[in-house]
Amino acid sequence: MKLSVLNSKGKKTGREVTLPKSVFNIEPNDHALYLDVKQFLAAQRQGTHKAKERADINGSTRKIKKQKGTGTARAGSKKSGLFRGGGRIFGPRPRDYDIKLNRKLKKLARKSALSIKAKENAITIIEDFEFKSPKTKTFIDVLRALNIDSNKSLFVFDTSNINVYLSSRNFKGAEVTTTSEINTYSILNAKQLVISESSLLSINENLSK
């Protein structure tokens, strides 16, 4: 697939690039996509939840009534989870939600996501650009020039483009990342994928290995 290279004003530069078939034209693997997105979302969880269980409650451990002869169920201390003010039974504890996936599967998931975007014609190639200073209005002008200001978009640069990144932070509909930080979830979550010329080469090198 060949795509025209646009500049930051949305105009054609007269150059074209060819998307590598090994990265942008494979049969998407749904299960790999599912596992990679699941891992990404699980990693966002802090896992700091904690509820007080029976051992964490302050209170007397005296048996509140005799074992037999009351006509009701047996009961121990008032810290039991069956009573008001008692500890929670099997409450949540701090834990790590990280899921381990091998590198080959993660590469397959990213290539599957990029192939889906290519089939949807949701990829734009833009020449490398920078801002002299961080300014949200300048970034919005770029979005309008590319006609994607009303859609979720993901900008991918080869290296950290700090001024463009800072300019995008106040705009909720756009995300700026680098080729080393790109992930399957962000690709699928964006309606339009904007890839710089230099990052296209890096993506091909990273995912073709």
- pLDDT tens track for 102-140: 999 999 999 999 999 999 999 999 998 889 899 999 999
Q: Is the pLDDT at 171 greater than 90, yes or no?
A: no
Percent of the chain with pLDDT over 90: 67
Write out pLDDT tens, residues 181-204.
999 999 999 999 999 988 988 898
In this structure, what token pair is assigned to residue 185?
Answer: 């979830």
Q: Is the pLDDT at 60 greater than 80, yes or no?
A: yes
| Cα dihedral 39, 44, 48, 50 sign | negative
pLDDT given for residue 201 in this prediction? 87
Q: Is the pLDDT at 156 greater than 90, yes or no?
A: yes
CB 23 within 8 A of CB 204: yes
Mean pLDDT of the chain: 91
CB 124 within 8 A of CB 193: yes
Q: Is the pLDDT at 209 greater than 80, yes or no?
A: no
pLDDT given for residue 205 in this prediction? 86
Task: Give the domains, in start order, of the chain with CATH numbers.
Answer: 2-45+97-208 (3.40.1370.10), 48-96 (no CATH)
- H-helix segments, 3-121: 21-24, 30-43, 103-119
Distance CA 36, CA 79 (A): 42
Give the confidence band of 206 by pLDDT, cuts at 50, 70, 90.
Answer: confident
pLDDT given for residue 26 in this prediction? 92
